[in-house]
A and B are shown apart, each in its own frame.
Chain A
Amino acid sequence: MTTGPEEPFPPPWTLAGFHLGARLALPIMPAMMAFGLAVGATAARKGLSFVDNLLMNAFVYAGMSQLIAMEAWPEQFTIGALAALIVLCVTVNARMLLMGAALHPWLGTSSPWRIYPTLHVLTDPSWLMAMRYRAGGGADAGVLLGSSVVLAIAWLAATSLGYLGGALIVDPRRYGIDLVMPIFFAAMLIPLWRGGRRAIPWIVAGVTAVAIQQLVDGWWFIVVGAIAGSVVGGLIDDAD
């Protein structure tokens, strides 16, 4: 594990790792599909065609930004409306810049032909599961690919079903579906626990995020909070 900040050899990408990743993704799959049903139903309600919905879920594949974009879906796709969509996707998904950066010490020596397509299907749960696997000493990049691909397939199925059965689905808030991701996130803190000293950055991240949330509209709080935590993590040395 302690071979330095950059691994000297490319990590393996095995079928066994892919299977392990797929298995690790199963617990979050029902929750992700519940969220996908809601996103598909919203697309139908907003008048997108079935194919438009499928394309959005295959190529954008970022549920929260899709929901917010569709809630204010433009009537006319002017340059201004397109620019607003870009700003929205960047702010809601800026945390993915950090997620990708955190994968680099592990996967930086992989072939670009493998890693860049894999990054397209990267999601919060598959990233968290892969980071947890990595923190436990695992090195097989197939785990990240397996969990990501399985969740992407589940997402396409759920959003298409949600589109077709949209009228049957009510407000996701009513069943607490909007809380699925925070619930899963919080549970994943436990296996990441490495003692109180390593939790100081987490506290800084949380306090900063809450402060930013109060001060600034939008979704900047995640990325600003996470950067604050990361900087503090860099300042706390390993001496213990």
Chain B
Amino acid sequence: MTPIEAADWGIYAALAVMAVATYAMRAGGFWLMRHVPPSPRLKRMLEALPGSVIVATVLPIIVRDGVTAALAIGVAVAVMLLVRRDIFAVIAGMAVAASARAWGM
């Protein structure tokens, strides 16, 4: 088999394994929960997830990215606290991020 033929089917094999692996993540957690008996503790664990996923995503990005990310995210949270509209929080945070990067931060 020549490399050109390999590349032909190879890209579809790559797309297929990526699609299956990603869908397994999307559907797998939901599917697994069918086999876990419900309990008040489990309910509390699941209720803690949205905030935990957010903080576990955002805090390492701030640590890695430094001042720009901290400023942009801080401003977005402050705007959200003040006006409670996510669109304004995102606009304000993006404006800070874009200007900080334009200033070479």
Contact = CB atoms under 8 A, between A and B. Distances in A.
Interface of A: 4-6, 26-28, 31, 48, 52, 55-56, 59-62, 65-66, 69, 74, 76-77, 81-82, 85-86, 89-90, 93-105, 107-108, 115-116, 119-120, 122, 124, 127-128, 131-132, 135, 173-176, 179-192, 198-199, 201-210, 213, 221-226, 228-238
A101 B77 contact: no
- Looking at chain B's contact residues, the main secondary structure is helix
Interface residues of B, number: 77
Contact of B50 (A97, A192, A234): A192
B59 A28 contact: no
Nearest to B45: A234
B61 to A, nearest CB: 5
Given A94-B25, A222-B60, 17 more contacts: A26-B87, A31-B94, A60-B22, A77-B13, A82-B13, A86-B18, A93-B26, A97-B29, A104-B46, A175-B97, A188-B86, A199-B51, A201-B52, A205-B53, A229-B51, A233-B47, A237-B44
A116 B46 CA distance: 19
B63 A213 contact: yes
Contacts of A204: 52
Nearest to A186: B73
Contacts of B98: 175-176
- Looking at chain A's contact residues, the main secondary structure is helix
B52 A202 contact: yes
Given A55-B15, A186-B76, A122 B26 contact: yes
A137 B56 CA distance: 25
B29 A100 contact: yes
B71 to A, nearest CB: 10
Contacts of A184: 76, 86, 89-90, 93
Contact of A105 (B43, B50, B57): B43
B48 A229 contact: yes
B63 A210 contact: yes
A5 B43 contact: yes
12 contacts: A93-B22, A95-B25, A99-B29, A99-B53, A128-B50, A132-B50, A174-B102, A175-B101, A183-B73, A184-B90, A225-B56, A228-B52
Contacts of A232: 48
